[in-house]
Amino acid sequence: MDYIISVYRKPKNYGKLENAHSKSESNPFCGDRIELFVKIENEKISEIKFTGEGCTISIFSAEMLSENFIGKNVNEIKSLSDEDYLKLLPISLTPTRQKCALLSFRIMKNILRDLEKN
Partner 1 sequence: MDVKKIREDFPIFRKMINGKRIVYLDSTATTQKPYQVIEKIKEFYENYNANVHRGIYSLSEYSTELYEKSRENVAGFINAHPEEIVFVRNTTEGLNLLSYSFLWNFLKPGDKILISMMEHHSNFIPWVRLKHFNIDVDFINITDEGYLDLEDLKNKLDKRTKIVSLSHVSNVLGTINDVNEISKIVHDNNSIFVVDGAQSVPHTPVDVKKIDCDFIAFSGHKMLGPMGIGVLYGKYDILKEMAPFLSGGEMIKEVHINNIIYEDPPLKFEAGTPNVEGSLGLSAAIDYLKNIGMENVRDHEKRLTDYAFKKMDEFDDIVIYGPKNVEKRGGVISFNFNNGNRYIEKELIKNDIFVHPHDVAGILDSENIMVRSGHHCAEPLMDFYRIPATTRASFYIYNDEEDVDILMDGIKKVRKVMKIG
Binding site for partner 1 (CB under 8 A): 1, 5, 8-11, 14, 29-33, 51, 53-57, 97, 100
Task: Output 44 or 97, the one with its CB closest to partner 1.
Answer: 97
Task: Output 4 or 108, the one with its CB closest to partner 1.
Answer: 4
In angstroms, give the least distance from the CB of 38 to partner 1.
20
In angstroms, give the least distance from the CB of 1 to partner 1.
6
DSSP H helical ranges for the chain:
2-9, 56-69, 74-78, 82-88, 95-117
**CA dihedral over 13, 88, 26, 3, signed as positive or negative:** negative
Cβ atoms of 108 and 66 within 8 Å: the answer is: no
Task: Output 9 or 117, the one with its CB closest to partner 1.
Answer: 9
In angstroms, give the least distance from the CB of 43 to partner 1.
32
Contacts of 68 (CB under 8 A, 6+ apart): 88
Task: Output 59 or 77, the one with its CB closest to partner 1.
Answer: 59
- Encode 59-69: b = buried (16+ Cβ within 10 Å), e = exposed: bbbbbbbbeeb
In angstroms, give the least distance from the CB of 67 to partner 1.
17
